[in-house]
Chains A and B, each alone.
Chain A
Amino acid sequence: MAVTDRTAQPTGPEPDDTAALEAGLDALETRIVVATPAWRRFIAKVVPPLIAIGLVIVAWQLVYTFGDLDSWQLPSPADVWSEMSFQIQDGTLQKAIWISISKGLTGFAMAIVVAVPIGVLVARLRWLRTAIGPILSALQTLPSVAWVPLMILWFGISDTTLYAVILLGAVPSIANGLVAGFDQTPRIYGRVGKVLGARGWTMVRYIELPAAMPGFIAGLKQGWAFAWRSLMAAEIIVASSALGLSLGQLLNIGRDTTSVELTITTISAILFVGLAVEFLLFAPLERRVLKARGLGDQR
């Protein structure tokens, strides 16, 4: 009858008993997550897109074989492949990729430096948000190629023009992403920070910026997409050998020499760069941020 005795007398359990009870509860309630090996995740992610690309090439070959098109309109996949191998052996394609991507990433980095303070200030200062919030959103919808003529008038045929167009394309997206990140932060984190003694800069550094990370990364991704598109548009329009043989220039050459093979080769290279940046830069970053919070793809 030990059980009834215990309820009859208001005595507490032994302290060791509590610790053991707690350990038991913890063990029962802890989720055990078994991680899938990295190589498996890689295969699961890479194989389906490769199959999709394969199907597109097969369809292309079928149109080429059975369609009634001139070869200058649509070359066969093999023709494009040989052009691509030629450009690669020549080193032209790698050089063009390098010229474009180095400018693209430099411009993107500058855009981050410019956009972060704008985003922080717009999110925190109400009057500033009322004033330039709508302008930022409007700029985001403006195709940045529309800026190219003006930038040429201001900066001439120069790298400055290219960077200016990249900035105008990417900064609004990154800043808006950061503002969205701030807005979506549950208010309780700010209160926690205040109770713990965070003020001003320490509040931004330890609470607000980390809390806004998911929105910020979404903004970065979109910002990169806009930066890369803006750069390609600008390179096609700002055509000068002084700026180096970029991917945009390669497209121009393809057009001028009516080489569909070279044009498709270059388009593939542009796609490839966009994909590589997504896979090597943003996917791991996003995964890390979301995983730490128990969000996103848990496999």
Chain B
Amino acid sequence: MSSATAEPQAYADGVDLSAPFAARLTRVSKVFDHSSPLPPVLEEVSLTVAPGEFVSLLGASGCGKSTILNLIAGLDQPTSGLVELPEARKPALMFQESALLPWLSAGRNIDLALRLRGFPRADRRTEVERLLDLVHLNGTYDKKVHELSGGMRQRVALARALAQDTSILLMDEPFAALDAITRDVLHEELIRIWHEEQIAVVFVTHNVREAVRLGQRVLLMSSRPGRMVRQWQIEIEGPRRIESPAVAELSVEITDDLRREIRRHGRH
């Protein structure tokens, strides 16, 4: 065990109602199909995301990771339990791929987010340029979506999410479809922007190294029913890379736990 990383903690189910939060789930369950014999997608999940915190949400397929994001984003309603957001500001959600609107240019996609938020018309162009600059894409306002590479598209999507002026950014495997080099660069970008914008991030992935590379806290979920199993506070000092030994070491440990969770399903 490296001294840089903390011991795993059993996931505490209690909710501290006095703690400030960017999003809070209290005993949330979700059933999509009541006639299905399968266990619920989410069962009694409680989760508090602190303001400005970077949480990685990890689990195998069918563990309800994306469902949690959809619930926080308001795209879906919980069957029971409570989903709370601290203020009127809506959460931003980034999807895996091709969530840019293809009939709008890169800049127009960001502009639409501002427009729907009621941003003053006269300042919109300047704000879009500022956001494009933030993701190092200045000069691409008029580029069409299909003219951009996968990495550039996801940066435009990130800029569009930031245009929502949110306090919590939800990311649903946003880099899963990218090649390793591009993904690596976007990890750096994301961490830089997270520092600059001081927003909370919930990052869903099934890539253990990515979860450890990015998160301050890694949550491991079980599948069917989806529950929080374990969590790790990550205290690696200084900038991390996906190749860092501390990241690799912790990843091995978490992967073992993840595999144990997956094996449980084969025994039925």
Contacts and interface: CB of A to CB of B under 8 A. Distances in A.
Contact of A22 (B95, B102, B117, B185): B185
Contact of A10 (B73, B160, B246): B246
Interface string A133-150: 000000000000000000
Contact of A12 (B98, B151, B241): B241
B185 A196 contact: no
Nearest to B148: A30
Nearest to B186: A22
B99 A202 contact: no
B93 interface: yes
B204 to A, nearest CB: 15
B112 interface: yes
Given A10-B247, A206-B116, A293-B146, A192 B101 contact: yes
A137 B182 CA distance: 48
Interface in B174-202: 181-182, 185, 188-189, 192
Contacts, number: 109
A29 interface: yes
Contacts of B149: 25-26, 29-30
A195 B73 contact: yes
Interface string A27-63: 0011101000000000000000000000000000000
Nearest to B73: A195
Interface residues of A, number: 38
B116 A211 contact: no
Interface string B98-122: 1101111000000011011100000
A213 interface: yes
Residue among B116, B147, B246 with max Cβ neighbours from chain A (10 Å): B116
Interface of A: 7-8, 10-13, 15, 18-19, 21-23, 25-26, 29-31, 33, 186, 188-189, 191-192, 194-198, 202, 206-207, 210-211, 213, 289, 292-294
11 contacts: A10-B246, A12-B239, A18-B188, A22-B189, A26-B137, A186-B98, A191-B75, A194-B75, A196-B164, A207-B101, A294-B147
**Lowest 6 CB-CB distances: which A-B pairs, in order?**
A294-B146, A12-B239, A29-B149, A10-B244, A197-B116, A293-B102
